Chains A and B, each alone.
Chain A
Amino acid sequence: MEQEKFEKIKPQSRLLDEGMRAQVAGVMEKLAQDVWIRAVVDLQDPKCVEMAEFLKAFSLVSEKLHLELFEPKEAPLLEEEMDCRELYPVTGLYLAGGIFSGVSFRGIPGGREINSFVLAFYNVAGPGQPLDDNVRERILALDKEHTMQIFVSLACHYCAENVILSQHIAALNEHIRVQMTDAGLFPSLIEKYALERVPVMILDEKERLVGGKSMEELLDFFEK
């Protein structure tokens, strides 16, 4: 990995002021294990640079966070794992030993999505948000491979809730991958999936679910 080319990226972000850093640090100090943040960024794209700067600043909040940046096509297996589709920036959360958590983000998790971004670490590395026993059992019982894309708008309250719940499922079940996509950054995806409202969940490129959903409704969707 050639991290030198990313040296010019400064750990700075207007999305992370002092108060926000303190709140994030408070969550990260609870993590039960370290998390590796792996992101693919195209340094020719200002949005990717913004994301790289954000991630550098974010990863400095806690010693439990480790950041690895990649250029497009530098790590093909990583891109496949995170379902990059040559649309950047894409960021995935990994555990020790290079284990992909199944949780990834396409775009910059500003607005309401900062909540899903921060909680993803908490759910991936533990201790994780509390769950009813029957819900946990349903999550662990999912035994088929699924990939879900959640299209969001950063100002959308329902979107962030769906991302948090769905990525919690992914964090607990190795068969499930859930990616948040800020649809506003990717017009080609808006056109491809004919998006008019958010949140929209696309499962395995086939099934579609629209609107804010409960954990039970999302599990019904996965179990269908």
Chain B
Amino acid sequence: MKHKHHIGRRVGAFSVQAYADGRTKTVTQQDILGKWSLFFFYPADFTFVCPTELKDLSEHYEEFQKEGCEIYSVSTDSEFVHKAWADASETIRGIRYPMLADTAWKLSKEFGVLEKESGQALRAAFIVNPEGVIKAYEIHDMGIGRNAQELLRVLRAAKFVEEHGDQVCPAKWQPGEETLMPSLDLVGML
């Protein structure tokens, strides 16, 4: 990998199978262009923390969709294992976003989250803009879960900056607080 971090890096070409809504299909790099994407890596199907996270994400799926963002969960399991998991678990059966089958480790390597010894992906989430460029991400060690609400906040912030630029200040309105002491600096302005 050329970069020490992933921000600003374009997601390379890929083509993987996916399980979505009871069916299998192919998802490629072309599918992520033109809208925002959340790549949500997790170690393996049929584990305990994963369904909790995937359910949390599923419960916020509509909000992500309203923001023009598709969610892709990714593990190194095949699409058939995803289906088996959905058949076995009511929670997983309720998921509407595509569950990508990264059996060849293409995406896990592309995003730099593959643990080679186990052949599993770390718990990681990547927010990718409509040009296929990574704008935000978090990578956790195996046991540390993520928060869909926080990912939604980051997505909205990324969209805001994309639309308006980064020259803004966060607003923490506190009516009635003391007027800020002035700071006059007119050097070079007259």
Report which A residues bind B (CB closer than 8 A).
Answer: 14-16, 20, 23-24, 27, 30, 47, 50, 108-115, 118-119, 122, 129, 153-159, 164, 183-187, 190, 195-199, 210-213
Contacts and interface: CB of A to CB of B under 8 A. Distances in A.
Contacts of A164: 189
A24 B184 contact: yes
A64 B170 CA distance: 38
Contacts of A155: 169, 180
Contacts of B164: 210-211
A114 B165 CA distance: 25
- Residue of B168, B179, B189 contacting most chain A CB atoms (<10 Å): B179
Interface string B172-190: 0111110111111110011
A210 B169 contact: no
Nearest to A113: B182
Interface string B142-169: 0000000000000000001001111111
B1 interface: no
Interface of B: 160, 163-171, 173-177, 179-186, 189-190
Given A119-B186, A197-B160, A159 B169 contact: yes
A129 B168 contact: no
Nearest to B175: A187
A118 B186 contact: yes
A158 B184 contact: no
Nearest to A212: B167
B168 A198 contact: yes
B6 to A, nearest CB: 25
A84 B55 CA distance: 50
A209 to B, nearest CB: 8
A15 B181 contact: yes
A62 to B, nearest CB: 15
Nearest to B177: A184
Contacts of A114: 182-184
A210 B165 CA distance: 8
A213 B181 CA distance: 25
B79 to A, nearest CB: 40
Given A15-B179, A15-B181, A211-B165, A197 B170 contact: yes
Nearest to A182: B179
Nearest to A46: B176
A187 B181 CA distance: 21
A50 B179 contact: yes
A158 B183 contact: no
A162 B169 CA distance: 13
26 contacts: A23-B184, A24-B184, A27-B190, A47-B176, A109-B182, A111-B179, A112-B183, A115-B183, A115-B189, A118-B184, A119-B186, A119-B189, A122-B190, A153-B171, A155-B169, A156-B169, A158-B167, A183-B171, A184-B175, A190-B171, A197-B160, A198-B168, A210-B163, A210-B164, A211-B166, A211-B168
B169 A111 contact: no
B186 A198 contact: no
A115 B179 contact: no
A198 to B, nearest CB: 5
A118 B164 CA distance: 28
Nearest to A162: B167
B162 to A, nearest CB: 12
Contacts of A14: 181
Contacts of B190: 27, 30, 122, 129
* Interchain residue pairs A-B with the least CB separation, the first 8: A212-B167, A111-B180, A114-B182, A156-B169, A110-B179, A154-B180, A210-B164, A197-B168
